[in-house]
Amino acid sequence: MPSKKAKKFIAFLSVFKKQVEIESMRLTKDIAKGIAEEAKDIIENQRYVWIPLKESYAKKKAEEGLDPRILIATGEMYDAIGWGVKAGKVWCGIPSDDIHLGSGLPTHILARIHEFGTDTIPARPLWRPLLSKWIRNKKKFGKKYADAAAKKARKKSGV
């Protein structure tokens, strides 16, 4: 027969497993939200050093009353950036069903063109450096949520 201490530990493990699942989903949501918000901030405040617009395109944008900043002419791609939960899975970025009205392209394809460039459009990476930064910091985020799961499990199980 297990000791009282062993029973408490078994109860803790049971509660801890559920708390890890809850905190894991919260962590995933917080990361997705943070990445989406930071992507928008990078574009809005032009925080990355991208290849400048061609003079002819900058002039055209000005004549058409478009936003002069890089990656934000009409704001459609910027506005499409988001995050959420669909079918129980967290997503972040640009929804695959969003269409960029100005070009007629799916917005995520337009984002890919800007990310990697083409023969006529220089690469202006947004997602690769942003995701690299978040990946470098994943241990810090994970520890915070693991600690929260353990604390809640101890409280709920009485350990």
Summarised one tens digit per residue, pLDDT across range 69-104 is 999 999 999 999 999 999 989 999 999 999 999 899
Residue 115 lies in a domain: yes
Residue 120 lies in a domain: yes
Residue 19 lies in a domain: no
Nearest to 69, CA basis, from 45, 36, 93: 45
- pLDDT above 90 for 52: yes
Residue 100 lies in a domain: yes
Task: Pull the structure tokens for residue 48.
Answer: 């990355």
- pLDDT above 70 for 16: yes
Residue 159 lies in a domain: no
- pLDDT above 70 for 159: no
More confident: 32 or 11: 32
Which residues, 6+ apart, have CB-to-CB distance to 110 below 8 Å? 77, 100, 103
Residue 20 lies in a domain: no
User: What pLDDT does residue 9 have?
Assistant: 77
Residue 6 lies in a domain: no
Q: How many CA atoms lie within 13 A of 105 on its CB side?
A: 12
Tallying the residues shown for the chain, one arrives at: 159
What CA–CA distance (Å, rounded) separates 131 from 138? 10
Count of domains forming the chain = 1
User: Whole domain around residue 68: which residue ranges?
Assistant: 25-144
Q: What's the pTM value of the predicted model, to 2 decimals?
A: 0.81
Residue 30 lies in a domain: yes
